[in-house]
Structure 1
Amino acid sequence: MWRQVQGSHDWDGLLQPLHPVVRDEVARYGELVVACYKVVDVDPSSARHMCCKHGKERVLEEAGVAGAGYEVTRYIYATPDVAGPPSASWVGYVAVSTDEMTRRLGRRDVVVSLRGTMTQAEWAANLMSALEPMCRDARPDVKVESGFLNLYASSASKSCRSAGGMGSCRDQLLREVSRLIKSFSEDMPGEDMSVTLAGHSMGSALAMLLGYDLAELGLNRDASGRRVPVTIFSFGGPRVGNAAFKDRCDELGVKVLRVANVRDPVTMLPGAFVNEGTRGFLNAVAGGGDRYTHVGVELALDFLSLRDLGSVHDLGTYVSSIKAETCGKVPDAVASRRGGGVVAKAMEFVESQGAAAFAWQEAALGGLVQSLGLI
């Protein structure tokens, strides 16, 4: 049932209750993203600061997922140029399933695994919430957050030895994913393939941009011209673009499963107060203009630790909650307020105060997210 697990029917009937195969597959992809956090060098004094500490041949073993059944083919770097001199940071990897894993899965699986925010420059980019066209010439109506686009499309520097001269995060990803599709479809004609993009927080935003690009540019077609399905598993992901971006992703057949803790404020940003669900006064204030809109199908979680508020966005806790099957059991009162507690009170306040309060409340929620160490 791999096509259904990858969203061929938008996970209809598989989420409530959560199908055990879907549960295991979503958790598996989450663990491949957790691996990104385990191997990045966060020592500021290191010559490889914000690069991966291990070579491609050993990285999954060092991250504790040696039996994942994938071979890493390329490391990916992003270079936001919004805070100081541009500097490349390792954000994840591209991998492909081994022959043994391919037989188990029923198809050759190309995986992109992307981490969330870890540097000040990435933080600065995340908070650039203005919408701008993804492709100014081709589809100016399709708009995405300027900060995420900056991370995705800015050219890499030579601060990481492996990143020098390789172009932007976008260039690296498009080149490697399309290469793998072409290579394996030529070597193994007739073999089914899938492209799975898995990311946490900022990484899920980058995965969304990549999924759109692959489908819009037609790079998800194999050597015979068959379309290779593109699926995104987003963990604690923010909104990325406007309604036109969502609609175009739907038209292109990009499938997105958003795994979201209803108490996680990151999943409410950007566009916390003017979005696809805005009603009443703020709906009139928006004036029918661009609004941030979530893409895909939501798999709702509900977890909170008062001793560690930052855990509402922790990827490890996301994966543990999926394994514990706490999905789809969200109380209506909690789901209706999307966040509960402090976030819910902030939303209630801005709705009561109107337009004058909108801008600074949106910024305040962003500040809350940053102070908790989220994204």
Structure 2
Amino acid sequence: MENWKLLSGDQDWEGLLEPLDYDLRRYLIHYGEMAEATYDAFNANKASKFAGLCRYSMDELFSKVGLGKGKAEKKYRVTKYLYATSSSLIPNGFLLKSLSREDKNFESNWIGYVAVATDEGAVEMGRRDIVVAWRGTIESMEWINDVQFGLIEATPIFKKEGDGDDTKEEIPNVHEGFYSLYTSTDPMSKYNKTSVRDQVLEEITRLVNTYENEELSITVTGHSLGAAITTLNAIDIARNAAQNHRVTAFPFACPRVGDSSLNSVASNLHNLHILRIENIPDVVPDHPIKLVGYDLVGKVLKIDSQKSPYLKNDQPGLIFFLKRAHNLEVYLHTVSGTQGSEEEFKLVIDRDIALVNKGLDGLKEEYGVPALWWVQANHGMTQLPNGSWELVDTGY
């Protein structure tokens, strides 16, 4: 792919957004699908002792979520799974413990992965691409994190070792809940003896060193809460782990993450490029509001799912409408067909519209696609040789 540097933001996506460039559409869908994999593989079955983990091994992740031949499985191999916890407190002062698996004494969940281009993928893409993908909110503690709007200094990220207390560089303030999820540890957890921040930076450093003689790109992607973590993580990588390599972030449906200082730091990192993708009817990117000290980070691509003739427009209620507008598959469908602010919607990417209904009821009835069709067969129940049924599953 000869133009990958342009698509990764080398010229700040100048001239590629209105109307949306065909190659950039494909690029965004590619990385959006890698973020979607984190939802599709997450074990949310509370009856499972592996609730909160990934259902699949690293070797089979892409094939199990439908990104097999010709897609991510061909181009990438997963090298590390990422797990997050939080030190945030709920009002009564106790940590919220919500998982149903056997190790109930902590809240620690699979939240994403790191992947690197295979040799074949590197040839096809024109460089060795490293991807970090983050999922959005699912677990109870994560919902608590989402609404912790207080701003807190992100000192470990933005103050390097050796900086004195009198350094003149302003430390950005970031969303307390997102920051806690990104930086917290839990000594009781086999998954979070180190923070998810340390997990991902260690793996990025290892991969950068492994492929130091090749041209590298680092691409970070995520949706909703995952988009907020994407923003923090991309800045962190560009500043602290890969200063000499191009880092690009594609946050989908990203809430505001920090104050104007965060935007200033991000803008001054020569190797960092951030393109937020926002659906106009989605309210999440507008929160927390600027009045409480928040600012925007990066450049934005505005899309509008309300223009799609494939999606239902008979809204059964505000909550359903907001959920539909925020859904990642709706975002990817809209990227496939948006023609800009002045033109009508027209699908130009051959991407199955049935994917819209994986996790919601969004397509018009005339297309004959059942709602909420992405489920594990029999919810993991397996018939044994004696005819009885048992929940047989694994966790990674």
Q: Which residue of 2 aligns with 1:224?
A: none
Give secondary structure in 1 for the equivalent of 2:116: strand
Q: Which residue of 2 aligns with 1:2?
A: 4
Render the CA deviation track for 1:235-271: whole Å, top value 9, x for unaligned. 0001101111101011013211100011111101112
- How many angstroms does 1:84 deviate by? 2.0
Q: Which amino acid in 2 is paired with 1:100?
A: E
CA distance in 2, matches of 1:3, 1:268: 29
Match of 2:83 among 77, 82, 92: 77
Distance 1:244 1:164, change over 3 A: closer
Give secondary structure in 1 for the equivalent of 2:12: coil
Q: Which residue of 1 aligns with 2:237?
A: 214
CA distance in 2, matches of 1:149, 1:201: 14
- How many angstroms does 1:177 deviate by? 1.0
Contact kept? 1:37, 1:115, Cα under 8 Å: yes
CA distance in 2, matches of 1:44, 1:158: 21
- How many angstroms does 1:12 deviate by? 0.5
Task: Give me the CA root mean square deviation.
Answer: 1.9
**Unaligned runs of at least 5 residues, structure 2:** 89-94, 98-105, 160-168, 307-312, 345-396
Match of 2:22 among 15, 20, 23: 20
- 1:199 aligned onto 2:222: yes
Q: Which residue of 2 aligns with 1:34?
A: 36
Give secondary structure in 1 for the equivalent of 2:256: coil
- 1:319 aligned onto 2:332: yes
Render the CA deviation track for 1:131-155: whole Å, top value 9, x for unaligned. 1111178355311111100000001
- How many angstroms does 1:81 deviate by? 2.6
Give the aligned length. 302
**Unaligned runs of at least 5 residues, structure 1:** 222-226, 276-290, 332-375
Q: Which amino acid in 2 is paired with 1:250?
A: S
Contact kept? 2:4, 2:125, Cα under 8 Å: yes
Bigger Rg, structure 1 or 2 = 2
Match of 2:110 among 65, 90, 105: 90
CA distance in 2, matches of 1:70, 1:327: 31
Distance 1:195 1:84, change over 3 A: same
- How many angstroms does 1:35 deviate by? 0.8
- How many angstroms does 1:156 deviate by? 4.2
CA distance in 1, matches of 2:251, 2:108: 23
Contact kept? 2:130, 2:217, Cα under 8 Å: yes
Q: Which residue of 2 aligns with 1:128?
A: 148
Q: Which of the pair is proportionally richer in helix?
A: 1
Give secondary structure in 2 for the equivalent of 1:74: strand
Q: Which residue of 2 aligns with 1:142?
A: 172
Q: Which residue of 2 aligns with 1:229?
A: 246
- 1:261 aligned onto 2:279: yes
Give secondary structure in 2 for the equivalent of 1:47: coil
Contact kept? 2:275, 2:301, Cα under 8 Å: yes
Render the CA deviation track for 1:83-138: whole Å, top value 9, x for unaligned. 42441111111000111111111110000010000011001111111111111783
CA distance in 2, matches of 1:179, 1:265: 38
Match of 1:238 among 242, 245, 255: 255
Q: Which residue of 2 aligns with 1:58?
A: 60
List aligned pairs for 1:261-300, cutoff 5 A. 261-271=279-289, 273-274=290-291, 291-300=293-302
* Mean CA deviation greater in 145-154 or 319-328: 319-328
Give secondary structure in 1 for the equivalent of 2:211: helix
CA distance in 2, matches of 1:45, 1:274: 42
Q: Which amino acid in 2 is paired with 1:126?
A: D
Distance 1:128 1:330, change over 3 A: farther
Render the CA deviation track for 1:279-298: whole Å, top value 9, x for unaligned. xxxxxxxxxxxx21111111
Distance 1:177 1:327, change over 3 A: farther
What is the TM-score of this pair, normalised by structure 1? 0.77
Distance 1:84 1:24, change over 3 A: same
Distance 1:39 1:158, change over 3 A: farther
List aligned pairs for 1:147-226, cutoff 5 A. 147-156=177-186, 163=191, 165=193, 167-185=194-212, 189=213, 191-217=214-240, 219-221=241-243
- How many angstroms does 1:216 deviate by? 2.2
What is the TM-score of this pair, normalised by structure 2? 0.73
Q: Which residue of 2 aligns with 1:359?
A: none
- How many angstroms does 1:214 deviate by? 1.6
Distance 1:233 1:327, change over 3 A: farther
- 1:248 aligned onto 2:265: yes
Contact kept? 1:302, 1:330, Cα under 8 Å: no
Give secondary structure in 2 for the equivalent of 1:252: coil
